[in-house]
A and B are shown apart, each in its own frame.
Chain A
């Protein structure tokens, strides 16, 4: 009756299952992105034209730049709501500085330092004082925008178009808009840093299990502060690019920008709970948001639909992801 029991290692399923589960979010946003591109290509004549695509890249550069930095913050399990206000403050201040005759390289450098200091201060409250990032950067959102309004009294400040500064937003290099080149550089640096350096590894570790990271001897507070410095500098760079492109500085720039940035990051598969981040996903998310805005205008659909469609896509994408992901995870 009884048979000899057979001991053999259970076979492992095909490796591509792991690949699909791990990259489901990036793959799904890539599919969304391609779908949008195909839809708008079929519905409008202008969408696929070279001029429009280059313009799209130029316009989405600030979003990509800040979203890359925001990916680091969100991967630690934090959030930075102040980036839009930092953009506005830098946008206004750089115009004021140039109007006062400050040489543009000095003005640019000063703005990047200012952005870094804003990030350092917020990072200090989050990392050292343990105040939730949502609260700290919500305060930052309010304060920084207020400072920008106070400095400009709400007026827009022109930048002379013969100043070389405007080339940062309008110039061309190797046949590409200069802001697009900046965005690609930031993206490449961000992707390398997150996936292949100790810093990126520690960012992920903090988001996954901060106490484990501390016990492993990782300088959790220093790394946490550093990611807010990154968003501060990235927001300053975005503020400079926007001021240069529009040829003016305004305290009303980038209202609601932080939400587009966070939407791009989340669409790209970075987890708001921390521990999981993808720069490639973030860039696809940012481009998807940009393509929707651009395509709806070209299709003569009310641009007010942009926000509705963006919101629906976020909800649909995240909903699909949670469904897809349930399979591969134990806890």
Chain B
């Protein structure tokens, strides 16, 4: 059913939400990205897979503004996007959950959710942090994601790895982004928490958010993705609609040249 909705949405808006054209990025002598083209449609969930150092993280950091590509163009809704910092990308609705989570340990849960966009109230002409509103909205956001923390006033350093990861996801998802990039969002999560994140991904996509998901948990991809892109040595080597592929096919595409050997063993 969800696929039908997405196809309708895709037909209605044929312009990709994000289009990458010939993206190249080099670090010293290492060619991290060697000319990558990619389309991300509105409301689409795109799985990005590949071996380690295939260029997945670099590509997503280019989209999120953390890296500026050496060559190539980024189009957002058909317009050339000139952002060069994460803040500028965020301003046009591109959010990212970083692998290192990017949380501030000595700030409380609610404060981390609102970092950089704290609501304020006016007291005698002074603009002070509106703690009550931060706490109420944080509670609502976390409840919607089934995330349990001991206290919203707890410092993030007091939380477990899974709770920290949940909070990083909640922060990116809370502000109705147009593009949400998630780099290994479920690596530290327990079973119930993974389920909640997968549900969240589907829900956001149905609301029109375009999502890029990097994960080593291939079984998750088949549950939420519309399309899967395989990277290898800094290039895009394959693209599959989810109905046209299976686990074995995907593993073969990821390991590439090593596939024949693997089959020999099997």
The residues in A between 207 and 230 inclusive whose CB is less than 8 angstroms from any CB of B are 207-209, 211-218
Contact A209 B157 (CB under 8 A): no
**Chain A residues with CB under 8 A of B127:** 197-198
* Closest A residue, CB atoms, query B129: A196
- How far is A328 from B159 in the complex, measured between Cα atoms in Å? 10
Contact B86 A215 (CB under 8 A): yes
- How far is A216 from B89 in the complex, measured between Cα atoms in Å? 11
Task: Identify the interface centre among A192, A215, A275: most chain B CB within 10 Å of its CB.
Answer: A215
The residues in A between 170 and 220 inclusive whose CB is less than 8 angstroms from any CB of B are 192, 196-198, 201, 204-205, 207-209, 211-218
* Closest B residue, CB atoms, query A214: B86
Contact B104 A198 (CB under 8 A): no
Write 17 A-B pairs (CB below 8 A) sorted by A numbering. Answer: A12-B150, A192-B126, A196-B129, A201-B107, A201-B115, A201-B118, A201-B129, A204-B107, A205-B115, A207-B106, A212-B102, A215-B86, A215-B102, A216-B116, A217-B117, A218-B87, A330-B160
**Chain A residues with CB under 8 A of B105:** 208-209, 275, 331
Contact B158 A212 (CB under 8 A): no
Contact A218 B116 (CB under 8 A): yes
Contact B104 A205 (CB under 8 A): yes
Closest chain-B Cβ to A194's Cβ sits at a distance in Å of 11
Given contacts A205-B107, A330-B157, 13 further A-B pairs with CB under 8 A are A192-B126, A197-B127, A197-B128, A198-B127, A201-B107, A201-B129, A204-B104, A204-B107, A205-B104, A212-B102, A275-B104, A328-B158, A330-B158
Q: Does B140 contact A (CB under 8 A)?
A: no
Contact B129 A329 (CB under 8 A): no
**Chain A residues with CB under 8 A of B118:** 198, 201
* Closest A residue, CB atoms, query B103: A212
Q: Does A276 contact B (CB under 8 A)?
A: yes
Partner among A197, A208, A209, A215 whose Cβ is within 8 Å of the Cβ of B66 = A215
**Chain B residues with CB under 8 A of A18:** 151, 153-154, 158
**Chain A residues with CB under 8 A of B85:** 214
- How far is A205 from B129 in the complex, measured between Cα atoms in Å? 14
Partner among B115, B126, B153 whose Cβ is within 8 Å of the Cβ of A213 = B115
- How far is A216 from B106 in the complex, measured between Cα atoms in Å? 16
**Chain B residues with CB under 8 A of A213:** 104, 115-116
Q: Does B232 contact A (CB under 8 A)?
A: no
Contact B158 A201 (CB under 8 A): no
Contact A329 B157 (CB under 8 A): yes
The residues in A between 17 and 47 inclusive whose CB is less than 8 angstroms from any CB of B are 18, 22
- How far is A22 from B115 in the complex, measured between Cα atoms in Å? 21
Contact A209 B120 (CB under 8 A): no
Contact A217 B116 (CB under 8 A): yes
* Closest B residue, CB atoms, query A21: B158
**Chain A residues with CB under 8 A of B106:** 204, 207-208, 275-276
Q: Does B69 contact A (CB under 8 A)?
A: no
Closest chain-A Cβ to B152's Cβ sits at a distance in Å of 12
Closest chain-B Cβ to A188's Cβ sits at a distance in Å of 12
Closest chain-B Cβ to A146's Cβ sits at a distance in Å of 38
**Chain B residues with CB under 8 A of A331:** 105, 157
**Chain A residues with CB under 8 A of B86:** 214-217
Q: Does B90 contact A (CB under 8 A)?
A: yes
* Closest A residue, CB atoms, query B153: A18
In the complex with contacts A198-B129, A209-B103, A331-B105, A216-B150 CB distance below 8 A: no
Closest chain-B Cβ to A220's Cβ sits at a distance in Å of 10
Closest chain-B Cβ to A22's Cβ sits at a distance in Å of 7
**Chain B residues with CB under 8 A of A192:** 126, 128
Q: Does B50 contact A (CB under 8 A)?
A: no
* Closest A residue, CB atoms, query B168: A212
In the complex with contacts A204-B106, A208-B105, A208-B107, A216-B158 CB distance below 8 A: no
Closest chain-A Cβ to B30's Cβ sits at a distance in Å of 21
Partner among A197, A216, A329 whose Cβ is within 8 Å of the Cβ of B115 = A216
- How far is A67 from B228 in the complex, measured between Cα atoms in Å? 56
- How far is A197 from B127 in the complex, measured between Cα atoms in Å? 7
Closest chain-B Cβ to A141's Cβ sits at a distance in Å of 29
Partner among B115, B120, B158 whose Cβ is within 8 Å of the Cβ of A218 = B115
Closest chain-B Cβ to A162's Cβ sits at a distance in Å of 39
Closest chain-B Cβ to A139's Cβ sits at a distance in Å of 30
In the complex with contacts A197-B127, A201-B129, A331-B157, A209-B90 CB distance below 8 A: no
**Chain B residues with CB under 8 A of A198:** 118, 120, 127, 129
Closest chain-B Cβ to A200's Cβ sits at a distance in Å of 8
* Closest A residue, CB atoms, query B117: A217
Q: Does B67 contact A (CB under 8 A)?
A: no
Contact A209 B155 (CB under 8 A): no
- How far is A192 from B127 in the complex, measured between Cα atoms in Å? 11
- How far is A276 from B155 in the complex, measured between Cα atoms in Å? 11
The residues in B between 41 and 90 inclusive whose CB is less than 8 angstroms from any CB of A are 66, 85-87, 90
